Structure 1
């Protein structure tokens, strides 16, 4: 099977997923939205992307896969091939959720990261979280990991696995929670934001830490949580996405909404640093298993399209009026 995959960026989990799909005989060609992903793309960048996708889609592909909601309009602009749309979290739950919902209604198949995201849509979806490389993320001795990253043993170390500049991740709140936990623990506690750390180095940082702290306003099923669980690192998180469900039975770990509860849970872990039993809870999220499930979604989309013949599938048509905002006026991405 040949898949044209359109995406806003190519993070580590996407590359792992593509490699695993290749092992299953799925060849995925990637087109990335023009512009700078770090500084943010404009509506012009997404508009420039549409003719590029249209031209590429005329080649020998079986389907188009839109990874991330803002790429879905470009995928749906062509009507020759079936379209699978994957929503990653903020694209559905954030500012442009209206656009992702409109596109999901016209896609042949829709993939979401969690049951919570599925509940946000008024159509059938497939819950297929991004897979994690359990060979890359695996428990390792803390002392060796700390020596590698240059952390001392006279402090407790807490990971904040994002760029602190990303407002939705709420780094200021993480700072408040760590400050309150520090007062309870009575020992030095350091908070380490990891936005500039290469993904290949992340397993070392995860194994060097005492806890992962997530203070996001919303998420699907964060990859950082899955990676921490693979390394048996305790997780303390706000109640976002399906984190509560994923942490059920994992100890020590905690989910809370209130800063005081988050601080108390974090202090409990830091007072007596220990590993969790998280690795056993993510066996179903190994990248090989996730890729097989995604390949099944591809096969379903292609089979349905072939059953009705080439052309608009699943009720898709070139009418873009459904991409207007709820008040009927066209919206922009800026």
Structure 2
């Protein structure tokens, strides 16, 4: 039995998505239980159907000691062979909950966060980070989702004899290439409205290209004129509604990828950007800022530019648009092939199973 302890299983973040995919892919070989310290969302009902059982401990910060006691009792009852943790708070609270247990399960920490700027983290995350640094020798292994994240946490002071990187994977059948090219060229962006996603640089780059024959599709929670800050950016650069389509949160990402020619990521910080893998699985060349593992994912099958540099983003977009149709189609095929060879969920799940069996 594999028990997964995750800080929260109600959002649509990289750790939650990867846990969901991993359970679905390995259900034939392992019995899975999910324990969310906070909440569990109906978004993951299909994943939960593959689980032996699942629990929500309603952690809110103030009831930490009670939640640790609940978690300890649950783990004693379940008696799992292995506990796979997901995110800082789950890592730390799980390690605290098993102190003194007669039969200790194998514990694997999972870190799905960039530590590019520790000083900018929330107070709660800073506390969890400090505690995790102290406890980092205790787990049997630490799995990072990004090479950049492993280096950042080692620099921060995480110490463990078995630290490794297992990148996030995708179901290849969910994301299919579309070899059709749109006219005019359609550039897509997907990311919630958040400081980390670099919206000011996205809008400035679109402003620099507003007189070009390019359409932008912008998806993500808050990417709407109902958002005053987005509306201000839209008006500042005098953008055209026909050329810049604000789609807000969308549920069908595969269809979104099918509707564009290339993918744009303007983040100023990332760990392992899942959207780049999904976009490339959909046969999309990616233009990305040099954050987290973006360069490792994209390699020479797109463009990597410095973060916070709208002119560099605009120049990279123009360079893509200038390519011939034959060059664009060849890029589509090469990007898909890279994901098939390196980021398919089948290969990634085998790496997790190898860690669980140590």
Q: TM-score, normalised by structure 1?
A: 0.75
Q: 1:60 to 1:230 in 2, by over 3 A?
A: same
Note closer, same or farther for the CA distance 1:45–1:135 as it changes in structure 2 (3 Å cut): farther
Give, in whole Å, the separation in 2 of the partners of 1:42 and 1:167.
24
Quote the residue 1:19 is aligned against: 24
Residue 216 of structure 1 and its aligned partner are, at CA, apart by: 1.6
Gapped regions of structure 2 (runs ≥ 5): 11-15, 44-58, 99-103, 222-248
Aligned to 2:215: 189
Of stretches 271-280 and 81-90 in structure 1, the one that deviates more from structure 2 is: 271-280
Distance (Å, rounded) in 2 between the aligned partners of 1:117 and 1:61 = 28
Give the Cα separation in 2 of the matches to 1:108 and 1:16.
23
Return the alpha-carbon distance in structure 2 between the equivalents of residues 47 and 268 of structure 1.
56
1:110: Cα distance to partner?
0.3
Give a deviation string over 1:184-230, Cα, whole Å, max 9, x none: xx1253241233222xx211101111222212222222111001111
Query: Which blocks of at least 5 consecutive residues in structure 1 are unaligned?
Result: 144-152, 301-334
How far apart are residue 84 of structure 1 and its match?
A: 0.5
Alignment of 1:130-209 (within 5 A): 130-140=168-178, 142=180, 156-164=185-193, 166-183=194-211, 186-195=212-221, 196-198=249-251, 201-209=252-260
Aligned to 1:321: none
> Partner residue of 1:279?
336
Task: State whether residues 288 and 304 of structure 2, in contact with CA within 8 Å, keep that contact through their aligned partners in structure 1.
Answer: yes
Q: Contact 1:178–1:189 (CA<8 Å) still a contact in 2?
A: no
> Does structure 1 conserve the Cα–Cα contact (< 8 Å) formed by 2:187 and 2:214?
no
Task: Provide the alpha-carbon RMSD of the alignment.
Answer: 2.7
Aligned pairs for 1:1-334 (under 5 A) are 2-7=1-6, 8-9=8-9, 11-23=16-28, 25-35=29-39, 42-44=60-62, 49-58=67-76, 59-79=78-98, 80-90=104-114, 95=121, 96=125, 98-99=129-130, 100-120=132-152, 121=154, 122-123=159-160, 124-140=162-178, 142=180, 156-164=185-193, 166-183=194-211, 186-195=212-221, 196-198=249-251, 201-250=252-301, 252-257=302-307, 258-272=309-323, 274-275=328-329, 276=331, 277-282=334-339, 283-300=341-358
The 3 A distance-change label for structure 1 pair 48 and 271 is farther
TM-fit CA distance, 1:93: 5.9
Cα offset, 1:76, TM superposition:
0.7
Task: Tell me which stretches of 4 or more aligned residues in structure 1 moved more than 6 Å.
Answer: none
Distance of 2:206 and 2:73 partners within structure 1: 51
Worse-superposed segment, 98-107 or 240-249:
98-107
Deviation at 1:51, TM superposition (A): 3.1
Q: Distance in 2 between matches of 1:62 and 1:93?
A: 35
1:279–1:47 CA distance, 2 compared to 1 (3 A): farther
Are the counterparts in 2 of residues 111 and 127 from structure 1 also a CA contact under 8 Å? Answer: yes
Aligned length: 281
Report if the CA contact (8 A) 1:163-1:194 is conserved: yes
Contact 1:4–1:29 (8 Å) recurs in 2: yes
Q: CA deviation at 1:103?
A: 4.2
